[in-house]
C-alpha cells in the first residue's frame, strides 16, 4: 500500500532576532493510511513543527512532501485551504474554540469553508461520537477542559478527513479527561481513521501503535508495534484521496457566517462600535439634512408655481452693468408693452431701507410696483404671486398720488409688531411716516431662510419720496400663456435692442423666464451644497480613518481566531470578506443612523423655515452607497492584512 504521507529530507529554519533555529533537519517519514502514530520528544525537538508541516499549516524550507500520492510543493494557497478543510482534521493543544459560541457551532465551523454547506444533524452526530450531545447548545466558556477538547475532536471529524492531527491533545487536561480523549482517539483509529498525535508523555504514546521519537529536529527512533502484532491491524477506511481543487467565490453558508461574525463582533463591542460610526453618522447626517431641505424647498417652490409663475418673464440689467449708468427706464417699459405677447408689464424699483416702529428698527428689502387696478380687484390678484393678504393692496390712484401707504410681509411684521395685527398702524421708512394697509404672507423663496423682512410700496412713492430715482431695478412681464413665454422673451429682446443698439454685440440687460430662474436657483443651491458636502466629506474622512483604526485593532484582537479559521480551511477571500463586511456594516449603521439624524434635523428646521423636507430614494441610495464605499475603502487594508496572516503564526500569537 502506498503511503498516505511521504516526506523526504524536510527542513525548516526559523529566524528569531539574531538567532537561527533549525526546527527540522532533513526529516524523512512515511505514514500509511489507518496508522495510529505518536510523535514523541522533549520540548524544542521539532515534533510540533513537523505536525504543522504535515497539516499544511506551515511550509518546509526544503525537501519534498507527497500527500495522498500527490506532490504538495507547488500547491496554491487556495488548494492548501481546500485540503485543510476536507482532508485534515486538526486538534489543537489549547482547543482553539470560538469564544461565546456553542459547541454545535464550533463543530460546524469547518463545514462552513468546505463549500458543501452546513449540516446540523451531522454536527450533532459528531458530538454524539465524543459523548457531548447534551452539551450541544452550551458555549465554550461553559464547558470543562476535557469537554472542550472533545468538542475540538468532533470539529476535526465533521468533514470526514483522511487524517487526524492532534497537537498535545491531553497536555492541559486532568487524568480523567486525558483518558476520555485518548479513548475517543483509539476508537476513531479502530474504525480505520489515520491518527497522528504529538506528545511528550510516554503514557500517552504507549497507547499508540507507532512511536516516532524526535530530538533536535531529527527522528532518532521509529518503533512500529503494529508490525509485531499484525493480527490487530485494522483495514483502513476507503477514502477519495484525490486532492481537492481550490474554490472561488462564496457559498451561502460562508456569506451567512461572515455576516454573523460581523454583527457579533459589533454587538460584543457596542461602545467601541458606537464611537467608530460617529464620524460616518455626522457626515451622512449633514449631507442628508441639506439634501432633504433643498429638495423639499425645490419641491415646494415648483409645486407652488402654477400657471402665473410659468408665464413670468423678468427683465433686469446684467450684473456687469449694475453699477453703470445703463439702467432700465420707463421707455423700456413702453417698448415691452408694444410686444404682442406681453400681456402685463410691471416696472419695479428695489432697494434696502431701515424700517422703524416705535423703538424697533429693522433693515428690510423695499420693493415698489404699480398699484392695484379695478381689473386686478375683479380677478382677486395682488401682483404678488397670489399670496394671501390681510387688509388690502395699494391702488393705482394711490400710486399716482404718491401715497404713503405700504404692505409688509409676515417676517417684517413679526420683527416690528410680534403677533399683533399691523394693519392700520404707522411705520417709518427712512424716517418718512407710512401707513400699513396690508399684511401679505412670506414668499416661498423667503421661507427657506426663515422669512426675509420685505416691504411693498407704490412705484411713484418709492421713486419720488424714498429712493429719489426714476431708474427701474427690473421689469416683471407676464406672457399671454405659459406656451408663449419663450416667444414673448424673444419679442422683448428684439424690442429692447431697437432702443438700445449694442456696438459690441453684448446686451446690457438680461431677460429670464421662470425656468431660467429655477435653473439659476438650482445652480446656487449646488454651490452651497458643494461647500456643505466638503465639510461633511471631512467628517466622513475622519469617520473612515476611525473605521480603519478600529478594524486594525479588531484584526490584532482576533489574530488567533483568524489563524484558527485558516487552519480549518478558510481561504484568504473568506477572511478578507469577513472583515470587509464588518467594516461595511459599521459604515452602513452609521449611514442609517445618519439618514435618521438628517431627516430629523430637516424636520426640526421645518419649524423655523416652513419648508417640508423631501426624502427621495436617490438620497437614501446615495447615503448607503457612499457609506459602503467608505467601508470598503478604509476597511480594505485591515481586511487584507488579516487575510494575509500565516495560519501557524496567527495561532501562536499572544
Longest pairwise C-alpha distance within the chain:
132
Closest CA to 399 of 439, 473, 459, 345: 459
Beta bridge partners of 344: 478
Per domain, the residue ranges of the chain are 5-87+161-248, 261-301+520-652, 327-507
Average pLDDT across the chain, whole number: 83
C-alpha to C-alpha distance for 538 and 204, rounded to whole angstroms: 62
C-alpha to C-alpha distance for 551 and 251, rounded to whole angstroms: 24
Dump pLDDT digits (tens) for 219-254: 999 998 765 454 454 555 555 667 778 777 787 888
Where is average pLDDT lowest: 258-262, 315-319, 473-477? Answer: 315-319
Where is average pLDDT lowest: 199-213, 249-263, 559-573? Answer: 249-263
**What pLDDT is recorded for position 104?**
92
Q: What 3-state class would DSSP assign to 180?
A: helix
525-532, Cβ contacts within 8 angstroms, sequence gap of 24 or more: 525/294, 525/297, 525/298, 529/290, 529/291, 529/294, 532/286, 532/287, 532/290
Strands (E), 401-486: 405-409, 426-429, 432-440, 454-458, 474-479
Where is average pLDDT lowest: 211-215, 258-262, 501-505, 637-641? Answer: 501-505
DSSP label at residue 141: G
C-alpha to C-alpha distance for 401 and 418, rounded to whole angstroms: 31
Dump pLDDT digits (tens) for 586-615: 888 888 888 888 888 778 777 766 666 776
Assess contact for 280 and 634: CB atoms under 8 A: no
Assess contact for 175 and 127: CB atoms under 8 A: no
Report the phi/psi class of residue 496: left, alpha or beta, with left for phi > 0 and alpha for psi in -120 to 50: alpha
Rounded mean pLDDT, 440-466: 79
Q: What 3-state class would DSSP assign to 408?
A: strand
Q: Side-chain half-sphere of 530: how many Cα atoms within 13 Å?
A: 5
| pLDDT tops 70 at residue 380 | no
| pLDDT tops 80 at residue 308 | no
| pLDDT tops 60 at residue 447 | no
**What pLDDT is recorded for position 383?**
53
Q: What 3-state class would DSSP assign to 293?
A: helix
Q: Which residues contact 210 (CB under 8 A, 6 or more apart)?
A: 31, 35, 36, 37, 38, 222, 223, 224, 225, 226
Phi, psi of 378 (to 5 degrees): -65, -40
Q: Any idea which residue has 463582533 for its cell?
A: 265
Question: Distances in Å between the alpha carbon of 462 and those of 42, 372, 440, 475?
Answer: 106, 16, 19, 15
Rounded mean pLDDT, 411-436: 92
Assess contact for 435 and 424: CB atoms under 8 A: yes
Where is average pLDDT lowest: 182-191, 209-218, 506-515? Answer: 506-515
HEC sequence for 465-513: HHCCCCCECEEEEEECCHHHHHHHHHHHHHHHHHHCCCCCCCCCEEEEE
Rounded mean pLDDT, 14-35: 87
Percent of the chain with pLDDT over 90: 20
Closest CA to 462 of 317, 330, 350: 350
C-alpha to C-alpha distance for 22 and 49, rounded to whole angstroms: 11
Assess contact for 286 and 539: CB atoms under 8 A: yes
C-alpha to C-alpha distance for 239 and 160, rounded to whole angstroms: 9
Q: Side-chain half-sphere of 241: how many Cα atoms within 13 Å?
A: 17
Strands (E), 300-359: 312-317, 342-357
Assess contact for 407 and 436: CB atoms under 8 A: yes
**What pLDDT is recorded for position 302?**
59
**What pLDDT is recorded for position 386?**
67
Exposed / middle / buried, residue 238 (Cβ in 10 Å: 0-12, 13-18, 19+): exposed
DSSP label at residue 139: B
Domain 5-87+161-248 has CATH 3.40.50.300: yes
Closest CA to 26 of 222, 220, 224, 223: 220
Phi, psi of 415 (to 5 degrees): -70, -35
**What pLDDT is recorded for position 66?**
92
Q: Which residues contact 133 (CB under 8 A, 6 or more apart)?
A: 124, 127
Q: What 3-state class would DSSP assign to 126?
A: helix
Where is average pLDDT lowest: 47-51, 314-318, 426-430, 527-531? Answer: 527-531
Joined together, the cell numbers standing for residue 595 give 439618514
Is the pTM of the predicted complex or chain greater than 0.85? no
C-alpha to C-alpha distance for 455 and 429, rounded to whole angstroms: 9
Exposed / middle / buried, residue 625 (Cβ in 10 Å: 0-12, 13-18, 19+): exposed
**What pLDDT is recorded for position 434?**
95
**What pLDDT is recorded for position 452?**
82
Rounded mean pLDDT, 539-567: 86
Dump pLDDT digits (tens) for 131-177: 888 999 999 889 888 888 889 889 998 988 889 999 888 877 778 87
**What pLDDT is recorded for position 437?**
94
**Which range among 209-223, 233-247, 296-310, 471-485 has the greatest average pLDDT?**
209-223
Handedness of CA 374, 379, 383, 388 (dihedral sign): positive
Joined together, the cell numbers standing for residue 179 give 483518558
**What pLDDT is recorded for position 230?**
47
Exposed / middle / buried, residue 621 (Cβ in 10 Å: 0-12, 13-18, 19+): exposed
**What pLDDT is recorded for position 468?**
85
Amino acid at each position: 500500500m502506498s503511503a498516505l504521507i511521504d516526506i523526504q529530507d524536510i527542513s525548516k529554519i526559523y529566524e528569531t532576532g539574531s538567532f537561527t533555529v533549525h526546527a527540522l533537519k532533513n526529516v524523512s517519514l512515511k505514514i500509511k493510511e489507518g496508522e495510529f502514530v505518536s510523535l514523541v520528544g522533549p520540548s524544542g525537538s521539532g515534533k510540533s513543527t513537523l505536525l504543522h508541516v504535515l497539516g499544511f499549516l506551515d511550509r518546509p524550507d526544503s525537501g519534498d512532501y507527497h500527500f495522498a500520492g500527490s506532490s504538495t510543493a507547488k500547491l496554491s494557497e487556495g488548494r492548501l485551504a481546500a485540503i485543510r478543510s476536507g482532508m485534515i482534521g486538526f486538534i489543537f493543544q489549547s482547543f482553539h474554540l470560538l469564544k461565546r459560541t456553542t459547541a454545535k457551532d464550533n463543530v460546524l465551523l469547518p463545514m462552513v469553508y468546505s463549500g458543501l454547506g452546513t449540516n446540523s444533524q451531522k454536527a450533532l452526530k459528531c458530538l454524539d461520537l465524543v459523548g457531548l450531545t447534551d452539551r450541544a447548545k452550551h458555549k465554550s466558556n461553559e464547558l470543562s477542559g476535557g469537554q472542550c477538547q472533545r468538542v475540538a475532536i468532533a470539529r476535526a471529524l465533521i468533514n470526514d478527513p483522511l487524517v487526524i492531527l492532534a497537537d498535545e491533545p491531553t497536555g492541559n487536561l486532568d487524568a480523567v479527561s486525558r483518558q476520555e480523549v485518548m479513548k475517543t482517539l483509539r476508537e476513531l483509529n479502530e474504525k480505520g481513521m489515520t491518527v497522528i498525535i504529538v506528545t511528550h508523555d510516554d503514557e500517552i504514546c504507549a497507547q499508540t501503535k507507532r512511536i516516532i521519537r524526535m530530538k533536535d529536529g531529527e527522528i532518532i527512533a521509529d518503533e512500529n508495534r503494529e508490525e509485531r502484532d499484525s493480527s490487530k491491524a485494522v483495514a483502513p477506511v476507503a477514502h477519495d484521496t484525490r486532492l481537492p481543487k481550490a474554490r472561488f467565490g462564496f457559498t451561502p453558508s460562508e456569506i451567512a457566517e461572515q455576516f454573523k461574525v460581523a454583527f457579533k463582533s459589533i454587538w460584543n463591542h457596542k461602545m467601541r462600535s458606537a464611537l467608530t460610526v460617529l464620524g460616518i453618522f455626522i457626515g451622512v447626517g449633514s449631507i442628508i439634512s441639506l439634501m432633504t431641505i433643498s429638495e423639499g424647498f425645490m419641491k415646494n417652490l415648483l409645486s407652488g408655481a402654477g400657471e402665473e409663475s410659468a408665464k413670468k418673464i423678468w427683465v433686469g440689467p446684467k450684473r456687469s452693468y449694475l453699477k453703470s449708468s445703463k439702467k432700465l427706464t420707463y421707455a423700456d417699459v413702453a417698448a415691452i408693452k408694444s410686444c404682442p405677447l406681453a400681456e402685463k408689464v410691471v416696472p419695479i424699483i428695489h432697494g434696502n431701507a431701515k424700517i422703524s416702529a416705535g423703538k424697533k428698527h429693522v433693515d428690510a428689502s423695499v420693493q415698489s410696483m404699480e398699484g392695484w387696478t379695478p381689473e386686478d380687484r375683479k380677478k382677486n390678484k395682488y401682483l404678488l404671486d397670489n399670496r394671501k393678504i390681510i387688509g388690502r393692496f395699494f391702488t393705482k390712484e394711490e400710486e399716482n398720488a404718491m401715497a404713503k401707504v405700504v404692505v409688509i410681509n409676515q417676517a417684517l411684521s413679526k420683527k416690528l409688531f410680534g403677533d399683533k395685527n399691523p394693519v392700520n398702524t404707522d411705520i417709518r421708512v427712512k424716517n418718512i411716516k407710512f401707513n400699513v394697509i396690508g399684511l401679505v404672507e412670506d414668499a416661498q423663496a423667503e421661507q427657506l431662510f426663515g422669512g426675509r423682512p420685505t416691504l411693498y410700496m407704490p412705484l411713484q412713492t418709492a421713486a419720488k419720496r424714498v429712493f429719489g430715482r426714476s431708474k427701474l431695478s427690473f421689469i416683471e412681464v407676464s406672457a399671454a400663456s405659459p406656451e408663449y413665454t419663450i416667444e414673448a422673451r424673444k419679442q422683448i429682446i428684439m424690442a429692447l435692442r431697437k432702443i438700445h443698439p449694442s456696438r459690441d454685440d453684448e446686451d446690457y440687460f438680461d431677460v429670464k423666464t421662470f425656468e431660467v430662474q429655477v435653473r439659476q436657483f438650482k445652480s446656487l443651491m449646488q454651490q452651497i451644497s458643494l461647500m456643505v458636502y466638503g465639510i461633511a466629506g471631512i467628517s466622513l474622512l475622519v469617520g473612515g480613518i476611525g473605521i480603519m483604526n478600529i478594524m486594525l485593532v479588531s484584526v490584532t484582537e482576533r489574530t488567533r481566531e483568524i489563524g484558527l479559521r485558516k487552519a480549518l480551511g478558510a481561504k484568504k477571500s473568506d477572511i478578507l470578506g469577513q472583515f470587509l463586511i464588518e467594516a461595511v456594516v459599521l459604515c452602513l449603521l452609521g449611514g442609517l443612523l445618519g439618514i435618521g439624524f438628517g431627516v430629523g434635523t430637516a424636520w426640526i428646521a421645518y419649524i423655523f423655515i416652513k419648508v417640508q423636507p423631501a426624502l427621495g430614494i436617490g438620497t437614501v441610495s446615495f447615503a448607503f452607497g457612499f457609506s459602503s464605499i467608505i467601508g470598503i475603502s478604509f476597511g480594505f487594508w485591515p481586511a487584507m492584512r488579516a487575510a494575509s496572516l500565516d495560519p501557524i503564526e496567527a495561532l501562536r500569537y499572544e
